Structure 1
Amino acid sequence: MKNILLIGGSYGIGLAIAKELQQGNNVFVASRTNEELTNLNVTHIPFDASTDILDVSKLPAVIDGLIYCPGSINLRPFKALKIDAFETDLQINFIGAVKVIQSLLPNLTASNQSSIVLFSSVAASMGMPFHTSVAAAKGAIEGFAKALAAEYAPKIRVNVIAPSLTDTPLADKFLNNDEKKEKSSLRHPLKRFGTTDDIAQMANFLISDKSSWISGQIFHVDGGMSTLLVNG
């Protein structure tokens, strides 16, 4: 049974991952709230990735998997963005992950082979208007993950999931009526936007031994958006 730490698993993609991993793993969820976790077979640790230092004393000495979920969707014209917006996006998406990984490094290296899963965005590889702040933060994650994977191979595997728009509370303003949902679906070659289960299943695969020969990769779970042209 693997010891898995999920940062930010109280709603959206994180909650879907917690549900996916709870069977057959010893799952710890570090998040601000736990209302949605009460019926799951997980251990909750109060934690705010933007302000708190992770208390590793509440965790097992060996951690086999780490998934960092906190993120942001801050879409505004570049000229309207103040430097604070870039710093905030970088903090929650990237710096928060760095702090968690550094504090957890002894636990991760104590495993025979641990796995780290981070989250980017389709916006990091595609030039998309109004995405300058979030694309910069997610781009930092992708470069960091590859360097970290190289430095700690073969002891720690590091991979990144880069979704397109996914139906989560964070994305609600982009999918809160039928017209928006239809427009978003049509932008993707597979003609639908993402679900939390789409992402959770990939995270489960990357944290498991089934992906034991995979590291330093960016997985575009995006309905084909980043590589395929939309017909018509």
Structure 2
Amino acid sequence: MSSPDADAAPVYLVFGATGGIGSALSRRLAARGARLVVAARDADRLRAFAAEIGAEPHPVDATRFDDATACAEAAVQRFGRLDGVANCVGSLLLKPAHTTTEDEWAATVAANLTSAFAVLRAAAKAVTAPGGSVVLVSSAAARVGLMNHEAISAAKAGVIGLTLSAAATYAPRGIRVNCVAPGLVRTPMTARLTANEASLKASTAMHALGRVGDPDDVAGAIEWLLGPESGWVTGQVLGVDGGLATVRPR
């Protein structure tokens, strides 16, 4: 039987929990005593991670509406409430439009925009109101023109539009919707870029603060947007990008 303090702890659901940013966020939320449901496609990897941090695993394909909805419903059924949902599912495709295949385009939109819509749709039905929070992940590439980013920029720009509209839709219910827009972050997904010395040097030079990001840089921002500390914040695109989208280093 849970203690009264445990029952009062917030309940969060993290999609894409085994990725670089998603795992950092999950660890942070678990460390602060939150009750946590973690979701990802790789069931074995997810269960091992959940056991490590003391979370409830729920294997899911976040690009499927029914899967995302069932996951959110399972979180409510397990804990009796759901205070916040974060979608950290995503992919990275760096190609000019004329060499991007139809399959690559569809996969990029599915991983980045369809997953965001499916998670938001599920969260809007399940998040405890008022005071609930939904956080999506866009990209600095949706806010500034970067070469060879056409597909990922378009998908991530869609996440920004989705965030703004949903924030207006669900504000009367007390549900806040925000997104973060990271620059280049060192994760397994970006290893091909960050492991290449020339590519890393060029990318670092584009970030005014003189370094690329770490997963905790972004996870800390998402954690804040999920929690009550940001209770008067909605419809915002928070650039966690070392200045990439807005500042030009000399």
The TM-score normalised by the length of structure 1 is 0.93
Is contact 2:140-2:245 (8 Å) kept?
yes
User: What is the distance in 2 between the residues matched to 1:132 and 1:177?
Assistant: 22
Report the CA distance between 1:146 and its aligned residue: 0.3
Is contact 2:136-2:180 (8 Å) kept?
yes
Report the CA distance between 1:136 and its aligned residue: 0.5
Superposed CA deviations along residues 73-125 of structure 1, whole A, max 9, x for unmatched, are: 101121101232222211111112222322332321x3321101000111101
Aligned to 1:141: 159
Is contact 2:24-2:219 (8 Å) kept?
yes
Q: Tell me which amino acid in the other structure corresponds to 1:160.
A: C
Report the CA distance between 1:41 and its aligned residue: 2.2
Is contact 1:62-1:111 (8 Å) kept?
no
Aligned to 2:52: 39
Aligned to 1:228: 247
User: What is the distance in 2 between the residues matched to 1:94 and 1:62?
Assistant: 26
Aligned to 1:194: 213
Is contact 2:123-2:134 (8 Å) kept?
no
The TM-score normalised by the length of structure 2 is 0.87
Q: Does 1:68 align with 2:87?
A: yes
User: What is the distance in 2 between the residues matched to 1:193 and 1:103?
Assistant: 32
SS in 1 for 2:53: coil
Aligned to 1:5: 13
Provide the aligned length of Structure 1 versus Structure 2: 230
In the superposition, relative to structure 1, how do residues 189 and 107 fare at CA in structure 2: closer, same or farther (>3 Å)?
A: same
User: What is the distance in 2 between the residues matched to 1:83 and 1:180?
Assistant: 27
Is contact 2:73-2:126 (8 Å) kept?
no
Is contact 1:11-1:36 (8 Å) kept?
no
Q: Which of 129, 134, 138 in structure 2 is aligned with 1:111?
A: 129
Residue segments in structure 2 that go unaligned for 5+ positions in a row: 1-8
Is contact 1:10-1:37 (8 Å) kept?
no
Q: Does 1:26 align with 2:44?
A: no
Aligned to 1:129: 147
Residue segments in structure 1 that go unaligned for 5+ positions in a row: none
- With 176-185 and 59-68 compared, the bigger mean Cα shift is at 176-185
Aligned to 2:223: 204
Q: Tell me which amino acid in the other structure corresponds to 1:210.
A: E
Aligned to 2:67: 53
Is contact 2:176-2:234 (8 Å) kept?
yes
**More helix, by proportion:** 2
**Aligned-pair identity (%):** 31
SS in 1 for 2:232: coil
In the superposition, relative to structure 1, how do residues 218 and 57 fare at CA in structure 2: closer, same or farther (>3 Å)?
A: closer
Aligned to 1:81: 100
Q: How does 1:88-107 map to 2 (within 5 A)?
A: 88-107=107-126
Report the CA distance between 1:57 and its aligned residue: 4.2
Is contact 2:97-2:148 (8 Å) kept?
yes
SS in 2 for 1:225: coil
